[in-house]
Chain A
Amino acid sequence: MSDAPDNRNADDGEELKPPPGAQRPKAPVRKEAARRKFIRSTALACGVVGLSLAGWMPTASAYKPRLRPPGALEENDFLASCIKCGQCVQVCPVAAIKLGDIDEGFGIGVPYIAARDQACDFSCDAVQCILACPTGALTYRKPDFADVRAGMKMSRDPVLKAKAKDPEPTLNLKERIGVARLDRPELCLAVQGKGFKGQARGADFKGTLRYMSVDRWKPVPVREQPYERAVCDLCVTECPIQDAIKLEAFAGPDGSTRHRPVVLEQCVGCGVCEMICPVEPAAIVIDIRKEWKEA
């Protein structure tokens, strides 16, 4: 304690000597230190800018194409306008929305839906994630300046099966986030002429779904609702949208009647069919941000 104060004053003593405002020429050592500091700072700037621009690579190469929540602006606008706060995550009743990680570059903190794990089944009716979004990255109506891809707008308002008896049965979002497609017909149970019995995705599946027969406002785990179907039609019966998918009969190679799911124009790309499909990998998948085409 006794010596310490003197050391503290070492700096201060120096301050007393020169007349105020006078600039002494810098000693060579100080000059060298300043030069090093400058080089170090330039290196830091290059390093940080380089790292932040590295975020471009996964974004530009679409390294992980993501299904965005309903109402999302076009991908580039969406990444720009999303403030990465996750309020959409918090309001989703089926916890379908996840946030991107740093390996997605500029997609960090940006919401997406992994439909196979948990699809958006419109359990909230009103598309809560759009209501929660503070920046308009998710929005019911696309603003004039925003790009709108071909096939984003629906030609007819989608009707929510859960609201079919309501005076206003349509979903308040008139666009699709993708479109379903029978990707692996050879795996599809209906195409093979098979039925399905049991838990759609096994006993360990954590996904939930709204079952109107159980509770309109409380989605329940899929594993608690075992199915028994003579012909597997889960993608058709569990689809939350009216007239979005149907089973079509055709004659199999052995002459028996087989069925195949046919995706109709009302498909919004929510991904419930992909989630519920009981075979592994799913026979039906969502094509992200694609337009619907007549099969």
Chain B
Amino acid sequence: MASMLERIKVMLGAEPQKPAVVSPEAREWHAMKRVNKEDFLAMKEHARQHGVVSHKWRNRRWAVLLFANLLFTFSFWLDIQILEGALTASRFVGFHLIDLNSALQVALAHKHIIVNLIIGTLTVFFLWVLLGGRSFCSWVCPYHLVAEWFEWLHLKLVDKKIVSDRQFHRGARTVFWVLFGLMALLSGYTVFETLSPTGILSRALIYGPSLALGWVFLLLMFEVFYSRRAWCRYVCPIGLTYGMVGTLSPVRIMYRLEHCFHEGDCKKVCLVPHVLDMVVKGRAEHTHVPVGPDCTRCGLCVDVCPSGALQFDVKGLSKML
């Protein structure tokens, strides 16, 4: 997980590689953890017993997600006009906000862009550069929340050995991103929007239920009985679009080797566990490693880590504080 390029490759579907060069400080830590197994285990137990596993970030995130989506709903229902429109495009007290992926599909299908669209798209682009790219997924996307609830059901069934998680190649999402772009370009229709559970759920929350919710339900069933979080992990081009924005973002999760006991709880709760490759013993190339751009900044790993090895971090800012 050396350069940014490497992290982008992992986001596009490549397997994370072991680092070629490990910094001396990190090597020291890796070695220390190997020296005395008894001491290491004792420290780990100590950390476990004193660690606070909470739902702090999850609760905050759910609150923000519900607030954002209900702000759309109430702006229309109560005519308070704060956030008008839906997730694909809206006005926040009059300012245009345009979803990047929807803007892309419209631009490719229609082949013309008007000024409002550019303004709204740029606003949203800079907003999510600041806020962390794929944080759109876990902090705003309504499908993410519903999928999280159904994921809980999936994991229960896996636990009881009733279903198993069949994985797809993560590169499929990159292929879909290209395919949806090509389909829009060649057909002249915004093909992706027909299937997008994000758009469907957002509109259903604002304008009332639709038949399209049936499709969203089928998707959820597919995720419960066949493949864990399949849409977000292997298909959704919105995630990849925002992931690319996230490569520039200062908000990320920071991994701190010295606090890590390599127990792997974080990878179990993570939507995109390939970004947490550095938590595997011996893989961290520095003592502090920022998590890659495919991370949705959902904070589940921060909540679950008993020893505080994973923390939210703002580039530049955290050092100052």
Contacts and interface: CB of A to CB of B under 8 A. Distances in A.
Interface of A: 1, 5, 8-9, 11-12, 15-16, 20-21, 37-38, 40-41, 44-45, 48-49, 51-53, 55-56, 59, 76-77, 79-87, 89-91, 99, 101-103, 105-106, 108-109, 132, 134-136, 143, 145
14 contacts: A12-B281, A41-B169, A41-B234, A49-B179, A52-B183, A53-B191, A81-B106, A83-B102, A83-B103, A86-B85, A87-B90, A108-B193, A134-B91, A134-B120
Contacts of B203: 84, 86, 99, 109
Given A85-B87, A87-B91, A109-B199, 13 more contacts: A8-B263, A48-B195, A52-B192, A82-B190, A83-B103, A84-B86, A85-B88, A89-B207, A90-B84, A102-B210, A106-B193, A109-B193, A135-B89
Nearest to A34: B169
A20 B20 contact: yes
A102 B200 contact: yes
A105 B211 CA distance: 12
Given A9-B262, A21-B18, A134 B116 contact: yes
A52 B180 contact: yes
B: interface residue count bin: 35 or more
A84 B98 CA distance: 11
Interface stretch (B60-68, B107-115, B144-152, B286-294): B107-115
A146 B117 CA distance: 17
Interface string B215-257: 1000000000000001000110000000000000000000000
Contacts of A145: 112
A22 to B, nearest CB: 9
A134 B280 contact: no
Contact of A40 (B168, B189, B206): B168
B182 to A, nearest CB: 10
B206 A84 contact: no
Majority SS of interface residues in chain B? helix
B176 interface: yes
Contacts of A91: 84
Nearest to B99: A83
B41 interface: yes
Contact of B110 (A16, A52, A77): A77
B116 A136 contact: yes
A5 B86 contact: no
B179 to A, nearest CB: 6
A20 B2 CA distance: 14
B40 to A, nearest CB: 10
A51 B179 CA distance: 13
Contacts of B98: 83, 134
Contacts of B168: 37, 40-41, 44
Contacts of B45: 5
Contacts of A21: 18, 20
Contacts of B120: 134
B212 A102 contact: yes
9 nearest interchain CB pairs?
A: A102-B212, A85-B89, A55-B194, A80-B109, A12-B281, A106-B189, A80-B110, A41-B169, A81-B110
B117 A106 contact: no
A11 to B, nearest CB: 7
Given A16-B282, A45-B175, A108-B212, A84 B117 contact: no
Nearest to B108: A80
Interface string B13-54: 000001110000000000000100000010011001000000
Contacts of B34: 16
B188 A76 contact: yes
Contacts of B88: 83-85, 109
B166 A40 contact: yes
Contact of B117 (A80, A86, A135): A135
A108 B263 contact: no
Given A20-B18, A145-B112, A86 B86 contact: yes
Nearest to B218: A51
A81 B114 CA distance: 10
Contacts of B134: none
Nearest to B13: A41
B42 to A, nearest CB: 11
Given A37-B168, A85-B85, A12 B280 contact: yes
